[in-house]
């Protein structure tokens, strides 16, 4: 029997239509705190907590907030979920609920349960107490170690956010008898090998990579999902349905992470949150991408393999990985092959990956360049889609540009390398004059279009200005020399 442990009670999944998302399943169980606001992962009204393996790779559990509107209910088979109702009751409020209530953090209340779950996940985050009074001191961080970025994927139209911030910064720490805090000390549930059928349609979670690859070999029309942050939107807003969905997000073979002398190997099914934690600053360029990639609710589900697999020209990780000269490993039943990311994309949402192949790993060569940066132009600072995204990796030796790698997103049908700009920089002094000369070249890269996010002219103008911004941020050439 397929089922989900929700607020400590097993809920049967048998008979649930395969396209049902977790939000609709939970509301069908009478747990109506979580709401549908946007159905595409932008508002956070649907947030719930899931028991997941700790992002650092330890055996502990981390309560992880996700958008329940995006993930299929079937993807939570065998998992533990906590909703706002499971955190507390009117006569026994959870600390997060109490602070939100007494500080006016809730007005109409529509978004409140989602905020509660995102805040509770941060309340239970391992190590938060260790930063008490010693963490970053800015408008995003409280003396209690609470990071407001944890709720950057939750939107509210009523409060103006100040009382929500007050509630977050007033929180203490879990009590010694807090059951959800105690739960963190044991392992998260293993991924169930799920086989759910609805007529001729099926949702399958294979137990091994070999089984997954065989399914793709036998069913080339199968839809592969990981965090469902892209597919979930297709299902919700465009009514997409699939005859066979193959879930690969919890395959052990796709969740490896290895740092070697000459490269870093990143499992394609690690979430972006897990990638950020495990990199721990080793690739500053990817580190700069993560806070700007959608929201924590999305990053807790989205994967590098999924972001590259969709082939979207506005995926934020591709420009950075192009600048890092990354490659992807494509696995099939017959063999595996390694393809430079610069050769991977072939057209709008198209790539060299065959239907029977999976992205299994992303390889990033070492050492990384000395000058790196990620610039994203969007209408909001957080929780938004790029109009233009640029990843830079530049090496300077003896005051001259020895190597320049620049990845662009949002200015062509695919993510691209700014090859002409790279050529205009390499071999020349790393100076304001060189950058000013290369800026018009950068503005001519790609084939930008006008759409709801930005005009073609705006995108072109931004490319040149962003190169000048890189110079303004990078400092002197001497300060950025590659040290022996």
Statement to judge: residues 71 and 177 lie in one domain: yes
pLDDT digits (tens, 9 = 90+) for 103-120: 999 999 999 999 999 999
Residue 460 resides in a domain: yes
Residue 399 has pLDDT above 90, yes or no: yes
Structure confidence at residue 56 as a pLDDT band (50, 70, 90) = confident
pLDDT digits (tens, 9 = 90+) for 258-302: 999 999 999 999 999 999 999 999 999 999 999 999 999 999 999
CATH of the domain at 258: 3.30.465.10
Average pLDDT for 419-446: 97
Statement to judge: residues 398 and 455 lie in one domain: yes
Residues in the chain: 484
Query: Exposed, middle or buried: residue 358 (CB in 10 Å: 0-12, 13-18, 19+)?
Result: buried
pLDDT for 475 equals 66
Q: Give the Cβ contact number of residue 139 at 10 Å.
A: 8
Statement to judge: residues 344 and 438 lie in one domain: no
Query: Between the CA atoms of 40, 46, 49 and 53, what dihedral angle is there, to the nearest 10 degrees?
Result: -10
Please give the C-alpha separations between residue 123 and each of 5, 60, 180, 235, 428, in angstroms, as whole numbers.
21, 16, 11, 32, 50
pTM: 0.94
Residue 174 resides in a domain: yes
Statement to judge: residues 123 and 53 lie in one domain: yes
CATH of the domain at 107: 3.10.20.30
pLDDT digits (tens, 9 = 90+) for 21-50: 999 999 999 999 999 999 999 999 999 999
Rounded Cα gap, residues 411 and 461, in angstroms: 11
Given a contact cutoff of 8 angstroms between Cβ atoms, the answer to whether 242 and 114 are in contact is no
Residue 152 resides in a domain: yes
- Residues in contact with 59: Cβ distance below 8 Å, sequence separation at least 6, in sequence order: 53, 187
Statement to judge: residues 280 and 351 lie in one domain: yes
Statement to judge: residues 349 and 232 lie in one domain: no
Residue 189 resides in a domain: no
Gap between the terminal Cα atoms of the chain: 60
Given a contact cutoff of 8 angstroms between Cβ atoms, the answer to whether 416 and 428 are in contact is no
Given a contact cutoff of 8 angstroms between Cβ atoms, the answer to whether 215 and 222 are in contact is yes
Statement to judge: residues 86 and 199 lie in one domain: no
Statement to judge: residues 170 and 224 lie in one domain: no
Given a contact cutoff of 8 angstroms between Cβ atoms, the answer to whether 480 and 471 are in contact is no
**In the chain, how many domains are there?**
4
pLDDT for 191 equals 86
Statement to judge: residues 241 and 305 lie in one domain: no
Residue 49 resides in a domain: yes
pLDDT for 478 equals 46
Last residue of a domain, one of 316, 344, 365: 365
Given a contact cutoff of 8 angstroms between Cβ atoms, the answer to whether 151 and 115 are in contact is yes
CATH of the domain at 236: 3.30.43.10
Give Cα 111 distance to the centre of its chain.
22
| Mean pLDDT of all residues belonging to the chain | 94
Residue 459 has pLDDT above 70, yes or no: yes
- Domain with 386, as residue range(s), is 371-480
DSSP code for 365: E
pLDDT digits (tens, 9 = 90+) for 225-235: 999 999 999 99
pLDDT digits (tens, 9 = 90+) for 315-352: 899 999 999 999 999 999 999 999 999 999 999 999 99
Statement to judge: residues 401 and 353 lie in one domain: no
Average pLDDT for 215-226: 96
pLDDT for 447 equals 96
Last residue of a domain, one of 247, 270, 290: 247
Average pLDDT for 60-88: 97
Residue 280 resides in a domain: yes
Please give, one letter per residue, the 3-state secondary structure of 251-297.
CHHHCCEEECCCEEEEECCCEHHHHHHHHCCCCHHHHHHHHHCCCHH
Structure confidence at residue 132 as a pLDDT band (50, 70, 90) = low
Structure confidence at residue 476 as a pLDDT band (50, 70, 90) = low
Given a contact cutoff of 8 angstroms between Cβ atoms, the answer to whether 405 and 323 are in contact is yes
Statement to judge: residues 169 and 304 lie in one domain: no
Residue 367 has pLDDT above 80, yes or no: yes
Statement to judge: residues 89 and 47 lie in one domain: yes
Structure confidence at residue 127 as a pLDDT band (50, 70, 90) = confident
Average pLDDT for 343-372: 97
Residue 317 resides in a domain: yes
Q: Give the Cβ contact number of residue 222 at 10 Å.
A: 20
Q: Give percent of the chain with pLDDT exceeding 90.
A: 89
Question: To which residue do tokens 């007529």 refer?
Answer: 199
Residue 86 has pLDDT above 50, yes or no: yes
pLDDT for 479 equals 44
- Directed axis angle between helix 112-123 and helix 162-170, to 10°? 30
Average pLDDT for 230-257: 96
Residue 188 resides in a domain: no
CATH of the domain at 440: 3.30.390.50
Residue 194 has pLDDT above 70, yes or no: yes
Segments of 287-378 assigned E as strands: 327-331, 336-340, 345-347, 350-351, 358-365, 371-377
Last residue of a domain, one of 343, 365, 387: 365
Given a contact cutoff of 8 angstroms between Cβ atoms, the answer to whether 102 and 96 are in contact is no
């Amino acid at each position: 029997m397929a089922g989900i442990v929700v607020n400590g009670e097993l809920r049967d999944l048998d008979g649930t239509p395969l396209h049902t998302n977790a939000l609709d399943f939970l509301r069908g169980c009478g747990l109506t705190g979580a709401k549908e606001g946007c159905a595409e992962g932008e508002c956070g009204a649907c947030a719930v907590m899931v028991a997941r393996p700790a992002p650092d790779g330890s055996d502990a559990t981390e309560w992880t907030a996700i958008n329940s509107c995006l993930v299929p209910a079937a993807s939570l088979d065998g998992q533990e979920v906590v909703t706002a109702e499971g955190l507390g009751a009117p006569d026994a409020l959870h600390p997060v609920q109490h602070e939100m209530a007494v500080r006016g953090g809730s007005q109409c209340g529509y978004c409140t349960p989602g905020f509660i779950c995102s805040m509770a996940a941060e309340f239970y985050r391992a190590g938060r107490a260790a930063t008490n009074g010693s963490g970053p001191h800015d408008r995003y961080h409280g003396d209690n170690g609470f990071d407001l970025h944890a709720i950057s994927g939750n939107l509210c139209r009523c409060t103006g956010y100040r009382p929500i911030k007050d509630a977050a910064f007033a929180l203490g720490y879990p009590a010694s008898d807090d059951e959800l805090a105690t739960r963190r000390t044991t392992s998260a549930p293993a991924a169930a090998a799920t086989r759910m059928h609805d007529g001729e349609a099926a949702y399958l979670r294979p137990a091994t990579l070999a089984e997954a690859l065989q399914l793709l070999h036998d069913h080339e029309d199968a839809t592969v999902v990981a965090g469902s942050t892209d597919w979930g939107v297709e299902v919700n807003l465009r009514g997409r349905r699939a005859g066979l969905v193959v879930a690969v997000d919890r395959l052990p073979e796709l969740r490896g992470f290895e740092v070697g002398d000459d490269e870093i190997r990143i499992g394609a099914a690690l979430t972006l949150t897990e990638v950020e934690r495990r990199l721990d600053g080793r690739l500053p360029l990817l580190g700069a991408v993560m806070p700007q990639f959608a929201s924590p609710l999305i990053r807790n589900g989205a994967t590098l393999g999924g972001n590259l697999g969709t082939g979207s020209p506005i995926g934020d990780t591709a420009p950075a990985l192009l600048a890092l000269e990354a490659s992807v490993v494509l696995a099939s039943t017959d063999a595996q092959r390694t393809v430079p990311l610069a050769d991977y994309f072939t057209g709008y949402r198209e790539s060299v990956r065959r239907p029977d192949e999976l992205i299994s790993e992303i390889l990033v060569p070492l050492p990384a360049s000395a000058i790196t940066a990620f610039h994203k132009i969007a209408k909001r600072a957080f929780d938004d889609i790029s109009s233009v995204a640029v990843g830079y990796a530049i090496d300077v030796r003896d005051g001259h540009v020895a190597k320049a790698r620049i990845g662009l997103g949002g200015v062509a049908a695919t993510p691209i390398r700014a090859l002409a700009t790279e050529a205009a920089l390499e071999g020349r002094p790393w100076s304001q004059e060189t950058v000013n000369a290369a800026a018009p070249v950068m503005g001519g890269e790609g084939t930008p279009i006008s759409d709801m996010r930005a005009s073609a002219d705006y995108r072109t103008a931004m490319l040149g200005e962003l190169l000048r911004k890189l110079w303004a941020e990078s400092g002197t050439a001497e300060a950025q020399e590659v040290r022996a």
